[in-house]
Amino acid sequence: MSAPITEKYPNYSPGLEGVIAGISTISEIDSDRSSLQYRGYDVHDLAEQGCFEETCYLLLNKKLPTVAELAAFKKTLADEYEVPSHIYDVLRALPKTTHPMDMIRTAYSALAPFDPDYDAPSTDGDANLRKAIRIVAKAGTMVGNGHRIRMGQEPLAPRKDLGVAANFLYLVNGTEPDAKTVQVMDASLTLYAEHGFNASTFANRVTVATLSDLYSGIVTGIGTLRGPLHGGANEEAMRMILEIGEPENAQAWIDDALATKKKIMGFGHREYKKGDSRAFYLTKIAKELGIEKGNTKYGQIADILEKTMLERKNLFPNVDFPAAYAYYLLNIPIDLYTPIFVIARVSGYSAHAMEQLANNRLIRPTVIYEGDKNLEYTPIEKR
């Protein structure tokens, strides 16, 4: 049997695990304490006592806002909710079967040339901040109205009197959401906003590090977030919970899944080995929501899966697991779960893009070549 690849190449870390690929002041994951801080503030405090707009302000401006600064920032965002109608024409041209993640990725691509700072150099920090605000403000509108378009409905004018979470929910349903729904959505956006050098944020930084623009970074990020090992896990987790159906089926289901070596979506994390701090908080919210809505069965299924995964695999749920059944209890269509992640994470992507561009170096790792060498070329007619 050949030696493990890491013995053969001691400097190689598959999946870049443990590799330090940058220095950042945006967020810190402390895996030992299972904690996450945005610019030094615990996400629990931000989610419980603040609002998503405050987190966006913190990520983009590197400090918490005052009352007046937050009010002005919310107004600036609301004034930027609207998108050019051409974006809706592009979305209408897509097949109705298009996944909303592909719609939002396409929407950002189409949006870039409409940005008033389109021609600004990618190193112009002021222009980048203005772009970042537009990017954050328009996400909920594009996901919400993108959903309407694929449902054969007309886009609605965004509601400037509502925050990001409420405006998005209003566009999806065509009615103003209740306060509890807005609170859960807002907290989940705060928890999803930023998470260090995760795959999509890193991909976003790789893109802007070529001195490409913020929008290209966002498009790269969304494409990377889409997969089930990353953001796509929240949709897959809900499909799994629905497949289980009832709490009495859960034990047999998970026993069988583990026996057949299935990956259980919404469990495990590259960074957190003692639990995902965001999941602790969102699990509490999701279970309370179930009690409030008189539907505790998803919480009960979750309890069984969580206990079994911990006992047998020493794995904890990640944020995508409670987010899945919280969103389901809020009647949000499953294929909007990962796009909701986008609405939140574009704030983190933008902060990282600006940080990268403020002190840039091209990101270009190296690779070990293991293919053939020095082969003799035979002209095509002689092969």
Ligand X SMILES: CC(C)(COP(=O)(O)OP(=O)(O)OC[C@H]1O[C@@H](n2cnc3c(N)ncnc32)[C@H](O)[C@@H]1OP(=O)(O)O)[C@@H](O)C(=O)NCCC(=O)NCCS
Based on its alpha-carbon atoms, the radius of gyration of the chain, rounded to whole angstroms, reads 22
* Residue 173 C-beta: closest distance to ligand X, Å: 27
Residue with smaller CB distance to ligand X, 186 or 235:
235
Residue with smaller CB distance to ligand X, 77 or 240:
240
* Residue 227 C-beta: closest distance to ligand X, Å: 9
Residue with smaller CB distance to ligand X, 83 or 326:
326
CA distances from 353 to 27, 214, 344, 347 (A): 14, 6, 15, 10
* Residue 252 C-beta: closest distance to ligand X, Å: 17
Residue with smaller CB distance to ligand X, 65 or 268:
268
Active-site pick, 115, 186, 213, 320 = 320
Tokens of 364: 């270009």
d(CA 180, CA 337): 18
* Residue 310 C-beta: closest distance to ligand X, Å: 12
Select the residue whose beta carbon is closest to ligand X and give its number.
268
d(CA 180, CA 52): 15
Q: What is the dihedral of CA 257, 260, 265, 270, to 10 degrees?
A: 130
d(CA 99, CA 120): 32
* Residue 197 C-beta: closest distance to ligand X, Å: 13
Beta bridge partners of 28: 37
Cβ–Cβ under 8 Å, residues 59 and 26: yes
Active-site pick, 44, 147, 195, 269 = 269
Per CB under 6 A, residues contacting ligand X are: 15, 229-230, 233, 263-270, 313, 315, 318, 320
Tokens of 170: 């209003």
Of 6, 150, 17, 158, residue with least CA distance to 83: 158
Residue with smaller CB distance to ligand X, 81 or 337:
337
Which amino acid, 80? E
Residue with smaller CB distance to ligand X, 53 or 320:
320
Cβ–Cβ under 8 Å, residues 190 and 43: yes
* Residue 321 C-beta: closest distance to ligand X, Å: 7
320 in active site: yes
Which amino acid, 22? G
d(CA 186, CA 50): 9
By annotation, the residues acting in catalysis are 269, 320
